[in-house]
Each structure stands twice: as structure tokens, then as C-alpha cells.
Structure 1
Amino acid sequence: MDRKFTFLNDFEGQKKFKEDYKDNALLLYALQLRFDIEDIDAVAADALTDGANDKKCDLIFVERELGVAVVAQSYNKVNPNMDDTAKGNKASDLNTAAAWVFKDEVEKVPSTIRDAVIELREAIKAQEISTIYFWYVHNLDETKNSIVEEEMYTMQEQVQAVVDTKYSSDSIRISAMEVGLNTIQKWYDTSTRRITIEDEIDVDCKEGFEIQTDKWRSFVTAVSGKWLRQLFLEKGEDLFSGNPRSYLGRGRKNTINSGIITSVQEEPQNFWVYNNGVTALVNDFEYDKKLLIKGITIINGAQTTGAISTPEEIQIKDDFYIPCRFIVCSDKTIIDSIINNNNKQNKILPSDLRSNDKQQERLRKEFKKYSDLFYNGGRRDDKKVRNKVVFDPYFVAQTLLAYHGDSVTAYNGKQRIWEDDKLYTSIFMDQLSAEHIIFVYSLSKAIDTFKNKLRDKGANRTETENKQIAFLSKRGSKMLLIATISSCLEDLIGRKINDKWKLSFKNNSDFEQLKEYWEEIISIIISFNVNLGPALEGGLKNKELVKEKVQSVKDIVSSFKNSYSKMLETIINEIEY
């Protein structure tokens, strides 16, 4: 394969990742790059379909906060050559997947993807999804086969027509994408450097002025709205390679974008005074009556740029002007601070506002003693981390809350945990240690591994294992399982636990080993999936029902507690009380 695809060095170096996910590894790698996912294993456990009877759908990923969903099908050619082309029938496969996703009778949707489809539909109904991507992911060069591109375009038009009819008031964009080596390389470049568009570009703007310090220099002006619109239509989301967010669309939660469009249509002459403007990083600029920039990424103003550029939503008659700053800076620390501070006036993620909290500072320092583990405590300006176990702060908070008794809020309140002061302080308190986080998070990851092993068995699963994978495919099952194991732990290990917050492993040097310690306990509790199943009907929502079902399992486990001590001797000896 052509080594111009430098990301392959990174991908091929992740041997365990490839072993764990096999034909889905490249798909997950692409997903991680595109949406900056920290804990891809946790996402994979929920997003990957069973593989059997998946109806041409390998993955359904729903991210409400970003307003996106991905429905994907993957293909991996064994020992590919430079001139090999991707199979051309994948667009029709994605059409099949789309038919199931938007089928009226949800009860007829195959059970392996039904819960994911329900979650996506609920997010659409709540107007939390603005873009649905249909991906055909493969390990070949997209430029070698124009037939696939044509089929993907046709598929996009067909699905868009269905969605426009079915969800006429929700303004949902369908994007069918062939994600081959070229696209993945582009996303890899975006993840490793701020500016991916390196062209020389003439800027249509008013006169301006330059400000300079020893660390940076900037040209301040007002750019033509028509020029910025055309730039976005040509460059697409590459224009936001250094931005924490891309364009969010016009859903219920993005009314500001609707306001931008209205201003352009009705009062273009006043747009300059209504809008906060755009900030862009560039590699260099020159001004001599005309402004020339070299390279660009918009780090603040993605919503303005996207809103004025949505072709089907706006007709621009008169030009208008937008305040704009072009900044040149080579100091990475300053660049990170520029990006961070330019986005603070907008709501990015709740964890951003907690990242400097004293508890997060303390936990970050505690994690530094473990060289193979990484926890950023919500601080997103840290560099990319490779070859370490990354503790995603959102999943950390969710698993801790589930372990300490509230699986319903843990599953449904991913953002709320960080926004609500009472919830946040009930988890991130002085008693919480890095070691306890490792203890609980390793349980969560062990459940992911358990599910992946069942998925890999496919048609070789026993009837009991089919029931287990069906349970684990239900929305909220992992949080329910964590809460149940926590509730039963005393009876399982046969020891009094005075303070659950002090539980940890004696030695945290080998995270994979910690996951293995949990395997027997997971095997025991998953056998009660029939007892727990009713708590997941319609999603994990009813706290009283959850309490009742967890207690029923606890009662059964308690009656057999004398039988478990020998079976669980290994983990019992490794727990620090």
C-alpha cells in the first residue's frame, strides 16, 4: 500500500486494538479521529452491532451533544494493493441500513440494532440530531473508483428525501460518505496539527490593521460574507480543523444559527454590528492593499460560517461584512490558550468549566504516578495520547455514579453530572482517589471486553450466551450491571465493606490484569440477566424498578454466597479494603 498514508503507521502499531476489533478496527479508528473520542472501547461496546443479522449495519453511533449520528458499514480487503478498488455494492447495503433505521414499525427492526435505532429516533424526536452520516469505511484509496462516489451520492439523495418527508420540521441533513484511506489520512492530519488547509488564499475584505507581540501577530479586518460562504462551500469542515466544534446545524438547541440566517436575509447592512465575528489561525499573512493568507482554520465562528453557508436555507442578495481576526502564532501553548479562550463565551462542554476544579487538578496529579494510564480531568487542551489507557472523564463520572447506586442518572445524565453542582460534588469529592477510579473503571472496561468476546463468537454462541449478548445490547445495561455488581460485592467476596469509596486494587500497574480480575464476577452476575432485564424495557429510566430488580439479584447472590469465595479467590486477594 502507498505509504503516503502516514496514519497507517499509527494504526498498524495498535496491535491489541486491531486484535480486539478485527474487521471493525479501522471503522472505530476513523470514528475516534473524526469525533475526537477519548475512550473508543466504551463507545464501541454500545455502537457496534452484533454482526449477525445486522442488516448491513456494522455500527450506529449517536452523539447528542454534537448533534450527530453515524450509521456505518465497513469492508477490509486482505492484503490490498495500490490499485485495488472498493466493492461497489456498499451503497445499496447502506440503503438497506437506512431502511431499517427509518422503518415505521420499530418492533420489526432486528433485535441486534433495535435499541440503537430507538435511541437515534428519540434523539431526532428531541431535535438533538442535525446531521446523520452514512459511512462506507474501507482500507482502500477512494480516488481509484468513481462508481462508489456516484452510488453514495445517489444513496444520499434517496435517504434525504425520506428524512425530509418523515421529519419535515426538524431540518436533518443526510451525508453519505466514502471513508477510505484518503479521508482517514485527512482526519489523522487534523488530529495531529491545527491547520490542515495550507492553500494561499486571497481574502475579500475591508482595510484593516496589524497588531503584533513577540509571541503572535494578527490582522484585524472585516471580511465579505459572500467570500466566507464560498470558502466554506469549497473547503467544508476542514475549515474548522482547529475548532472544538464544527457547525451544529439548526435544531431546537441551535436557534442562534437560525437568528444568524435571519439577520443575513433581512438586515445584511447591520450584520457587522450584530455578529461577534470570526477568529482564524493562519500560517502567515501579507497585506499590501490586498490581504493574502497562507493556510487557515477558523477557531471561533464555526456557527456563523456554517449558518451563512447552508445553501438550501439562504439566498444572499446583498453582500455583508463580518468582523474577523487572522492570527499567526507558532507557540503551541499560546495557540491552545487562544483556542480555549476564544470559545469560552460559548457553551462547549460542561467538563470544560470543571477542568480547573481543585478535585480535577488533584486527580490529574494522582494519575501521573501510573505511566500507562491517562486522565485529563476535562482539560481538552492536552495533547493526543497514544499507547495509554485513556480515562474519559464523562465515562469516569458515569461509572462512579452507577457503582455508588444511581445507574439511571448515570446512564441518562452524561452531561448533567458535570452541570449539576450537587451531582458533581457527590462524585468528585475529597474521598475520591485515582485508585478508586481505576477500580471502578476497570470493571466498566471488563464489561466492554466481555461483550466484545460474546460478539466475536457470532453463530458459535450458546443459547445462554445469546441471551447475555441480547441483554448487553440493551440501552443502559452496562450501568445497570455495574450497579448490581456493586450491590452484590459484599456477598460475592464474603467480606464486610465499610466504605465503598475506599475500595481499590493493591497493585494498579497492569490495567489489563485488573480487567481480568473482574471476569468471574461479571460471569456470575450476567447469569441473572433475566431478573434484571425488565429494568431495561424502554431504556433505563425507572429508579424504583431498578432498585427492585437489583435487590432481587442481591437476594439470590446472598443465598449462595458461601459458594463464591473459592471461585473468586483471585480478586478477593487483590482488593484493598
Structure 2
Amino acid sequence: MLTKDFYSTIDAELDTLITKYKDDTLIQKHKNAINNQKSYALLIWFLDFYGRISNYSNFITDGDNDSSCDIVFDSLNNQGNRVFYVVQSKWNNANNSEKETNKDEILKALNDFETILRGEKKSVNEKLKSKLEELDVHLKANGEVKFIFLSLSQYKGGADENIEAFRRNDVKTKFEVIDINRIRVDYIDRKYKKIDPINPLDTYQDPEESPINIEIVQKGGSVKIEKPFEAYMFLLRPKSIWELFRTYGFALFYKNVRNPLLQSQFNTDIERTALENPSYFWYYNNGITAITFLLPEIGKKAEKVSLTGLQIINGAQTVYSIYRAYESASPTKRIQMDSEALVTLRLLKSGGKDFDLNVTRYTNSQNPVQDRDFCANDEIQVDLQNESYQTSIWYEKRRDEFRETPVGVKKVPNFVFANVYLAYHLQDPVSVLKNHTQRFGTHKDLNFISHKDHKDGLYEKVFNKNTSFEDMLCAFYIFNTIESTTQFSYEDTFKTNLYHLLALFKVAFTKYLTAKYGDKINVNRQIVKIYELGEKEIILKTFKFLNQFVEKQIEVANNEEKTTERMIKFLFTLSHYQKIYDTLEDTEIYVKDIDDIVLKDDDNMIEGNKDTEMAREQ
């Protein structure tokens, strides 16, 4: 989803709000100034999207001569503490949405916020004056305040030093920039993944760092497991789970391979059981598995447990569904739920990253979970996905995480990106085919397994600080161009020499572009440009050139058996592939060598199907 396309989506929602609240005094006032109307509508959208606040009129303090301070309001956070929020909004038109946020705008906002903190903001309307007086009393009582700069442009860190200085000035003062890229990520989470984004209008504690108290059910005490690792199993009431999620939110699931879905039949069924048949809940539900860093001794008569650090690694849907059910229940229904419903908690002491990952892996094995799912929360996977949101190709880091996609957007699994990147950018097609062949026996995808866990693990090779989405996208575009012109499915492409041609493509096409435009051209960006302009013929011509080139290197005249043997070595032996690679490197390629290639409708530009199939069977 390009920035301009996402901007259009948000802009359409602002238009809907302007129509919906057409009788609002300020919308009426600015009916001849659409920019002012849009700025006001953005505030309404922000409160509704993040805070689920529909009675916006009580929160927006915008008025004559004080447009620089748009929202001031207070609310109780999920720990029950009062927090003030001060939001300054900067609406931008479509052209500016793709530009970097002006540093001076943020500095001006910081200066305005400092004026508020000093209690020196003057010339404001009565509504804002009243809220600022409340804020001043709150600050004198050692209360917390969070300032937010909201912008429909792209913040790229230009004012980070100034922001950090502002934060250091007072530990009770927070500051956050929410730009169009952050809004896009959160919007995609809610609309297309059906999960709730982190709400900037709330404060969640970190469950991995915070001391946590859980009330447990006294039914003859807990069950303790001592060997080979310490663990307990005991029962919880719905209230305990509700309090956990209310305090820590989705941070409880950072190490889970799945996020809770906002809407699913499975969650609906759990909620219904909790509300309508609470006494059946324990019988119908598998419970929750969690890991804690420090596991205390728990006595037979204990009714409370104090933990340090907690992560729920299985049962995210259960936790979220119980939270929703309890949140919506009446006081009487809550009493019934707590008296009848029981939930099993298996609590394990963390045994280090490897142990924790294996527990996560095996406790989720009753449902189909792929190797890549266990890496989905890694920082690099999140970064690659966020980068992909600026294109029409979305990086799927977890299976089935996108419940739907907008028109014109294609979701591509990260295992596809990993294979094409490994072949094209890292020039290692042999590992791609070996990995695929091995999976027939082990079902392990080595692209998502560390070399620490498997001698042939490729995860660190594929995903590291040098991995960029642009390079992955380039490799995918080349792959997709040739795959879409054949009769092969994605799995069928492993029966061909496509990944080897993909690797050689980088060599040949770099030579071609250098001959045509000089050696300063950025090859990957040129490929992306060619693909997105629909000028894919030159990619197909290069593939045909390479296929003919490889055939000449491998073919033994009048000896099909020898040719097949050489093809197998080319596909699965790095040294034999390297020989052909070196030969191509030493070959001078002229522009006409590729430009003069003739494409025909019946061209089969990726050969070796039969030979590769034979290799797989051996």
C-alpha cells in the first residue's frame, strides 16, 4: 500500500466524518476552509481509532487563536492511574504525506508543550484554560502527562535529540510522534490482521520486567513439577486473567507464535462458554501455558503468586476471549463467572532462549505451526513487514496473519522472499534446492532455523543487519516475472533450474545494464522500476539468454545420460554451479546479446524439469 494510496484511504474516512458531524460548530465554521475541516476531522478520527472515544466534543479543545493545542484530556490508564494527554495535530495534503516531517514543526510543538508544563500558555479559550488548570494541579501532584505529535507526513528521526532532551527533563513526562507510517502499521493491524494495535492513549507495563501478582484458586493447592525443570500447574478465575490483560495488554504475547484475533469464530465460542456456561469452561478449554524468569516456591495453601517476568506462550486466544467476555459482563455475571469458571495455568521457569523456544514450539504443535511462525516476532521480521507496507507487496511473516488485503495488494509469505533472496541476492541457489529437498524428510525450513539449532540452519545468513526489503522485493519481482509466464505452481518451480537462473540473472543483467547505462546504475532499483512500469520483456529475454547459456555449458552432445548427470551436479553441487557462474562472469555481454533475443508464445525459458525431478528422487 503506497503512502499516497493509504493517504487516500484515511482522507476518505475524514470526509465521512465531516459528513457525519456536519452540524458540529467547528465543522460549520470552517465549511469554506477544507484544510481546517480536515485537521479537525483528523482529531476525531484519532480519538475514535485509538481511544475508541466517540464523544469527541468533550476532548477537543481546539478553538480560535490556539490551534497549536488540539486535544487535552485525562483518563484512567489500565493500572487505574490518572494520566493527562496533550495532542497536537498536523494535517497535511496528499503531496506532503510522502515528504519528511518538518523538524521545525516538531520543535515548535516541543516548545509549546514546555510552555504548558510551565503553566505559561496564555490567550486560550475557556475550555482549554480549564483543562490546563486541571493539568497543572495534576502535575503538582506528581501525575503523569503524555504529549503526542500527530502528523500525516513521514517522521524520519530529524528531531530525535530534541525529543530525548524533552523526555529527560521530567521522568513523568512522555512524548511520542505518530506519523503516517505508524498510523498505516496500526491501521493494517486492525483492519487486515484483525488484531488491536498498541494504543498510544494508554500505558501498559512490560510483563517481562514488572513484578506480577496473580490470585490463584485454592482447591487443594497447586501441582509442582520439580524435574528436570521446575514448573507448577494451578487454576485461575476469569478475574485474574482479566486483570492480567487489562494491565499488560498484547505485551503478554510477545513470545507467542500467534496474536489473538479481534474477530474469529474460535474466540466467539470461548466467550460464549465463559458467559453462558462458565461451569463448562475448564472441560472445554486446554488452558494457558506461561514462562516466568523467576519462579518462587508456592505453598500448598497459597492464594496468591508473585512472579517476576511473564510471557504467555500458548493460549493467547483464551486470554483475550476471557478478557472480552469479562469486560462486557455485568457485575452479577462476573460474580457467576468467578464462582464457576476455572482456567488451567501451566507455569514454567524460563530455561533460556533455546528452551523457551522449544516449549513454545511443542505446546503449539497440536495446531499447524510452521518454522517461520516461531521467528515472526523477531525485530528483523517486523521491520521487513513494515517496510513492505510502503509497496503493493506485503511481507507475510506469520502464516495467515492477514485475514484480508486491500484491492491491488498481494501478500507474499516470507519463505518465498527468503528463497528468492538467497538465490538472487546471496547467490546461493544450491542451498535453496537442498533446503527444499531436505524438507521432504524433516519438514524443516532451514531458512527459519538458526545454525545453532541445526548445522545447516540458514536463518542468520538470510536475515541479518544487511537484509533489506528492497533487495528482497527485487528478487521477488524477477522470480514472479518468469514464474507467471509458465505453467508451474510455486512448488513446481523447485523442479526446475529457476533458482540457479535467478542467481545468474544478477550477473548477466548487471553486465547488460552496465553496457547500456554505465557502471553507476543501481541494478536492483532499476529492476524494481522495470517491473512496476510493466516493462518485463527485458527480464524474460535475459532469462532466455541464460537458459541457452547454461544448456551450452551442460549439454554433452549425443549423450543424454551424461547431460543429466551434469545437470544434477549443477543443481546440487556448489562447485559445479560455481564453474558456470565463473564462466558467465568471464563472458562479455553486449546490449544486443539480450536486446536481440526473440520471445515466442511457446517459449519454455526454464528447462531441466525432468532432470531436477530425477535428482529429487535420488
User: What TM-score, normalized by structure 2, do the two folds share?
Assistant: 0.42
Q: Larger Cα Rg: Structure 1 or Structure 2?
A: 2
TM-score using structure 1 length: 0.44
